[in-house]
Amino acid sequence: PRRGGPWQGIPHGLHGEGVATDSTGTSNDATYAGTYSTGQIGDAFDMSSGATLPDSATSDVAGFSEYAISLWIKRAVTANGWVQIVNKDYAGGGLGIYRYSNTSDITVKHGGSAWLRLTGLYDAINDGNWHYLGIRWDGTTTYGSVDGGTEVSVANATSPGNVATAYSLDSTYTDGIDNFRITDSALSANWIEDEYANQSDPYSFYSVAAPATSGVPTLSSVTATSITVDAITPNVTLTF
């Protein structure tokens, strides 16, 4: 069940602000022995130190009828072959998000499904800069996007299985991970796009208009019909 809305239902909120504790209050803390560096939002997990980021939650994708995952990721180098992004025992029916072999695609596998290829998404994050990766599944289709852009999708009706292993965010070809989140709601493409816009440039996410200068009523004159002065306290009452 969802508890407390998006990013709050059996989730993770590993923000990388000098600690690897779960900011959502569900105590799904990570184990991290590496260092921290400047991320997209404050500090990030500096994966170039060679430390992976395993997570203590062992069954929080089991039986999901839908889910959404997002993270800021900075890739360090161009790699050959398969490159892990997120893994939670995909071989045992859990969840895996990888680069698909020597291709430009990101691929997703869960619940024993085939590897589902999201065309072109790996090349979009593999340039040494911070990028916002969003993966969501609504029970029938897996969607993926980078930096809130147009989604690519592939059909998949296989639910994640119950696997008693932790998440692992691999460091082999990654400079940094920031704001890793998962929830048991597919959310929507617009929600992912808004998350990207808010987190990438929060000061331009919304604006406050200047005060209105026309069409505003003004008082040209006021005439009182009576004035009452309180002799004990300095109060004056005007009656109109």
CB 43 within 8 A of CB 10: no
| Nearest-angstrom CA–CA distance, 24 and 12 | 7
pTM: 0.78
Positive/negative CA dihedral, 39, 44, 50, 52 = negative
Positive/negative CA dihedral, 84, 182, 139, 163 = positive
Burial class, 125, CB count within 10 angstroms (exposed 0-12 / middle 13-18 / buried 19+): buried
In this prediction, residue 9 carries a pLDDT of 35
Per-residue pLDDT tens digits for 157-215: 887 776 667 677 766 667 888 888 888 888 999 999 999 998 888 777 777 777 766 76
Tokens of 6: 């998006």
